[in-house]
A and B are shown apart, each in its own frame.
Chain A
Amino acid sequence: MRDYIIRRVLGMIPLILIVMIVSFGIFSLVPNPFAALIENPRIKKADIQRLIKAWGFDLPWYLRFFKWFSGVIRGDWGPSLLYPGSTARDVISRALPVTVRLMGIEFLVSIAIALPIGIISAVKQYSVTDYVVTVISFLGMSMPTFWFGLLMMMLFSVVLKRPSGMPLLPAGGFITPGLEEAPFWAKLGDRAQYLVMPVVVLAFSSLGGYARYMRSSMLEVIRQDYIRTARAKGVPERSVIYKHALRNAMIPIVTLIALSVPGIVGGAAITETIFNIPGMGSLIIQAETKADYPTAMIGLMLSSVLVIAFNLVADIVYAWVDPRIKYS
């Protein structure tokens, strides 16, 4: 097992390198952002030329890649084009915690709700509970987040008000200005109220998928002969479900969950935009459209590394929950 992990980790290095080259290559297809400045009569041609040279846009993309890459190995990801004066790393490290907080909570909330309802709707297949859960799951999956988000805002920020006349929940943002340096608990409470709506919107859209997976996996297992064997030896029904069936039904689910973790850093561009949250999703899209390749590359590399790493995690967890899987 240890050898297997070492081998897989070593195998990641060339893979990540390839991902870097390919994504950098695709980025170079974005037109040179400084070329457009030529239209502006108030900027000197010489200044434009200097900018182009400083950013390396006079070089072919592969030479620019080597220039960028030699910085990356030294930990220098380059300056941000989008936010002049900041490095790309600083820009990312401002957005990342905001997104991880939102998406992490959303992830935990949706799994904590989805798995139990998936189990219940499988155990009580075709019951009223099952139908209600199924309808709600599909509703969540098919409702656009921007629309549901706006509906939530109308209800909780416009219609419902606190006695003070303030909206019940803030319509957007992620922290009340001025509270950045407040004591821990005050800050926590403040952040929580900003998170309620986006977390609900995102969780509602993703929990249906997990619940359906859990339900079908559980249904598959409940039909198995060994479940009948468990009943035939007098195992109480609770134990039949939560010990004998669940352990087997979880095998595909843990893989699914492990593979979903990288999504936490990717952010949710639409929801972030609706709720005016300066997270990774909206940042990366802006960076990409404005040819801010140093910033966008960090985002891309972060996602790629996590996807590759969590594939390994999924394989390891898989072997851990299913004794039939052995790596050598």
Chain B
Amino acid sequence: MDNREVLVDIKNLRTFFYTEDGVVPAVDGIDLSIHRGEVVGLVGESGCGKSVTALSIMRLIPNPPGKIIGGEIFFHGKDLLKKNEEEMRMIRGDKISMIFQEPMTSLNPVYTVGDQISEAITLHQKIDDVEAKRRTVEMLHLVGIPEPERRYSQYPHEMSGGMRQRVMIAMALSSNPELLISDEATTALDVTIQAQILDLMRGLQKKLGMAILIITHNLAVVAEMAETIAIAYAGKIVENASAKEIFKSPRHPYTYGLLASIPKFTEKKTNEPLPAIEGMVPSPYHMPKGCRFNPRCPFATEKCREEEPEILELTPGHLVRCFHPIES
């Protein structure tokens, strides 16, 4: 299908949290691959393990209570989970960068934004302070911050949420990473600012060519940007295909339900309520037996309640974890 080199290959990743109330299998066998320069969307509801997957790639799972208990994360063919802390530190912010959901709290309030970006640069590149400052101003300019020289010496509290997210992007891209992980990076922003930031990310991706893993619960966000979409449910990937395929012919009942619950403005106005997926996300302490989606699935059969389906490639490049996939 995709003849670009595989950049990241996650195989059967399992990250569990050991809490006082029990074990939470936040990520329980996620498989995902990202090619060089590819934009991949990882979509799912809260608690499905999207963010934990991202933090696992960065090896930033807070331990305790979290722990990566199994699987492999190959980056350029080498397993990140086998690297020591120092090797991992050199990769973070250099080859793999991450931006977060809360721009208001993601920057250190006592250092200027310029200091924080140039710190990221000097950590990974052997350059002097003058050159680091020049690069920082360049990055601020690149992410569309007006008057970058003046902004360089401002503190985060002197900027708006959108501006701060631009600063975060500038920081993440300052070392030309091969992979940018965006963990709900636009969720906390106003809709108009959201569109601006997405535009910016798309533009920068074209310009710099890095791969992006977009983590979101908002299908509209990935619809515009992602080439490939993976749908996560209760710690597993349930469907993985090109964006076009996902939107045109979703095969997993969960994906189908998600798409059906998006309002369509092209259709005639009706007074019908939007269709919603019945039931609730399962409690992480009590995962249902068999297919994890079975209690909410309209097509569930006895087999779904007993056995767990494997993820299968139904058509080339279209993977689905379901015994009764919807016909395309």
B89 engages A232 (CB within 8 Å):
no
Interface of A is mostly: helix
With both chains docked as a complex, state the minimum distance between the C-beta of A28 and any C-beta of chain B, in angstroms. 50
Known contacts A224-B105, A225-B100, A324-B155: A232-B92 contact under CB 8 Å = yes
A235 engages B109 (CB within 8 Å):
no
With both chains docked as a complex, state the minimum distance between the C-beta of A25 and any C-beta of chain B, in angstroms. 45
B92 engages A233 (CB within 8 Å):
yes
Task: Produce 1/0 per residue, A41-80, CB < 8 A to B.
Answer: 0000000000000000000000000000000000000000
A226 engages B119 (CB within 8 Å):
no
Task: Produce 1/0 per residue, B55-77, CB < 8 A to A.
Answer: 00010100000000000000000
Residues of B within 8 A of A321 (CB): 110
Chain A interface residue count, Cβ-Cβ cutoff 8 angstroms: 21
Task: Determine if A163 is an interface residue (Cβ-Cβ < 8 Å).
Answer: no
Task: Determine if B102 is an interface residue (Cβ-Cβ < 8 Å).
Answer: yes
Task: Determine if B281 is an interface residue (Cβ-Cβ < 8 Å).
Answer: no
Task: Determine if A183 is an interface residue (Cβ-Cβ < 8 Å).
Answer: no
A234 engages B93 (CB within 8 Å):
yes
Known contacts A225-B102, A228-B100, A324-B155: A233-B93 contact under CB 8 Å = yes
Give the nearest-CB partner of A251 in chain B: B110
Give the nearest-CB partner of B92 in chain A: A234
Residues of A within 8 A of B92 (CB): 231-234
Interchain CB contact (< 8 A) of A226 among B94, B97, B106, B120: B106
B residues 24-60 in Cβ contact with A at 8 Å: 58, 60
Task: Determine if B241 is an interface residue (Cβ-Cβ < 8 Å).
Answer: no
Give the nearest-CB partner of A229 in chain B: B106
A322 engages B98 (CB within 8 Å):
no
Looking at A224, A233, A244, A248, which has the most chain B CB atoms within 10 Å of its CB? Answer: A233
Chain A interface residues (CB < 8 Å from chain B): 224-226, 228-237, 244, 247-248, 251, 321-324
A-B contact pairs, 30 of them (CB 8 A): A225-B100, A225-B102, A226-B106, A226-B107, A226-B108, A228-B60, A228-B106, A229-B100, A229-B107, A229-B108, A229-B168, A229-B171, A231-B60, A232-B58, A232-B60, A232-B98, A232-B100, A234-B94, A234-B120, A235-B89, A235-B93, A236-B89, A237-B85, A247-B108, A247-B110, A248-B109, A321-B110, A322-B109, A323-B157, A324-B155
Chain B interface residues (CB < 8 Å from chain A): 58, 60, 85, 89-94, 97-98, 100, 102, 105-111, 119-120, 123-124, 155, 157, 168, 171-172
